Chain A
Amino acid sequence: SQQGEEDPQALSIQEGENATMNCSYKTSINNLQWYRQNSGRGLVHLILIRSNEREKHSGRLRVTLDTSKKSSSLLITASRAADTASYFCASRDMRFGAGTRLTVKP
């Protein structure tokens, strides 16, 4: 079973633009995590947002959580070529979706 489903599957933007990725999940959660994966490597944790939080920031990253809609979004502001990667969300039971593949063109 997949708890986190990311949308869109792929996103291509120019450097300097903002990138928004969405995550939907199916059951109630205690927290939701966002991860990043560079090509051929392991995943790296970005942000964990708890169910009683609505928004969380880390540098150029902003995560929102809407538990009534069972959805979360990850915003990357002022994107850089180095942000090119796949982004995943995970909620209960450590299940992941297929990810959003972000390409940032220089």
Chain B
Amino acid sequence: DVKVTQSSRYLVKRTGEKVFLECVQDMDHENMFWYRQDPGLGLRLIYFSYDVKMKEKGDIPEGYSVSREKKERFSLILESASTNQTSMYLCASSLAIPGHAGGSPLHFGNGTRLTVT
């Protein structure tokens, strides 16, 4: 079974701090994704990556950056945390790009619930 591990289950940070959310997958997947989930808004795509050192912006990249130095690890960085970034953050990986012909599904981690005070 694919395992996607997010380093923290709960995190509390102060406004203005630089925050790193780590995600590691163990199945040699090419594709990795970061979402945030807020009540009533569903999941919103922040960034994704199709290969090492490659990144693409999703729908809400403002205030975030990402790093993918190794295939198995995809980090989400909040450059200067703000209270409106309080949310559940979900990382996912896939073997093939899900929406493409021959696509395969996303495998999610259990999420990091981040509170910014």
Contact = CB atoms under 8 A, between A and B. Distances in A.
A2 B98 contact: no
B59 A33 contact: no
Nearest to B110: A42
A93 B99 CA distance: 6
Given A42-B4, A42-B110, A43-B90, A48 B105 contact: yes
Contacts of A99: 42
A95 B59 contact: yes
B59 A31 contact: no
B45 A94 contact: yes
A2 to B, nearest CB: 7
A42 B111 contact: yes
Nearest to B101: A30
Interface of B: 4, 33, 35, 40-43, 45, 48, 59, 88, 90, 92, 97-111, 113
6 contacts: A1-B59, A2-B42, A31-B98, A42-B90, A94-B99, A96-B42
Interface of A: 1-3, 29-31, 33, 35, 40-45, 48, 88, 90-99
